[in-house]
Structure 1
Amino acid sequence: MKSIFVGNLPWSVGDEELKAKFEEFGAVISARIVTDKMSNRSRGFGFVDMEDADAEKAVSAMTGYKWGDREITVNEARPKTERAPRERRSGGYRNFMF
């Protein structure tokens, strides 16, 4: 199984529409649009999981595809990289212990 990254999607595209578009190239295991946690609105990208051969066909066919008024980005998803934890700062004053 391969996971495909799909970027620069129109804001209106939902999970089912993404799945339907990629089903043209084979069976879709899952399709999901990434949403903002606070507003629950699309962040303009998503992921589609397909079997290897179908995923390769989909990436080839969909690269440069114009969806609405946007040219989408399609490539094999990269695994998440470990990021160093961010330093948290809160407020304008620092709490010092005396």
Structure 2
Amino acid sequence: MPERTVVIASRTGLHARPAKIFVEAAARQGTPVRIRVGDGKPVPANSILAVLALGAVHGTEVTLDADGPDADTALDSLAELLARDLDADE
């Protein structure tokens, strides 16, 4: 199963607006994607409540994983998104 590890760049972490942008992007992917912090339990990346519950703040390292024919493309897209400061994209 492919994975990508990325550091959260948004100043507010995965909270409020950045979490919404990430979850909406994950929901648009053609394959289910999961996200976890450290060795924690992976949660669905398309669930706003699950993503908020991760408590990922600025600088937190998260790991994305997916399985399926478009997994690499989905992971690259979402990792690139998390590596940007989504608060600055207003």
TM range (shorter): 0.3 to 0.5
- The structure where strand makes up a greater share of residues is 1
Highest relative contact order (Cα 8 Å, sep 6+), 1 or 2?
2
Q: Which protein shows a greater Rg?
A: 1
- The structure where helix makes up a greater share of residues is 2
Tell me the TM-score normalized by structure 1: 0.40
Tell me the TM-score normalized by structure 2: 0.43
